[in-house]
Amino acid sequence: MTVEDLSPVMRQAYESLSTVEQKEDFLEQYNAMRQQMTRSAIAQVISRNLSHGIGKHVIAKGN
């Protein structure tokens, strides 16, 4: 990911940094975090197959 791909909020944070090194570190860390978030979210989305139980909040409303 490059600076052009950053969301407005992240872009603002990036622009507020003063040195090239800080900006490079920021991008590196952001990419690592994003990759980690992506993989984590994927793991959750992937673990979805046909299965449906019934939970306590619905049972409480039904009674």
Partner 1 sequence: MTELIDFQRKAREKFSLENKANSFTDPLLFLYSLDWDISAGPQFSEDVLAIMNVNLDERGCFGRAVKAAVLSTELFPSSKIFSAEVCEDFFRAMLINDATASNWRDPTYIAEILQYENPHQVIICDGRQFDPLFKDLMGWPQELKHPVVLIQDLWAGLHCSYLVSEALLDKTNNPQACISQLYRALSLYPSNILVKENLAALHASYNDFSKATFFAREVLKFRKDAKTLFFLWILTNDEAYKRQIIAQYNPAMFNYLNSVL
Answer yes or no: are the C-beta atoms of 6 and 14 closer than 8 Å.
Answer: yes
Own/partner long-range contacts of 10-19 (Cβ < 8 Å, ≥24 apart): none
CB of 10 closer than 8 Å to CB of 34: no
| 20/46 with CB nearer partner 1 | 46
Q: Indicate the residue among 22 and 58 with the shorter CB distance to partner 1.
A: 58
Amino acid at 17: L
Minimum Å gap between C-beta 22 and partner 1 is 21
Nearer to partner 1, 4 or 21 (CB): 4
User: Would you tell me which residues interact with partner 1 (CB under 8 A)?
Assistant: 1, 5-8, 34, 37-42, 44-59, 61-62
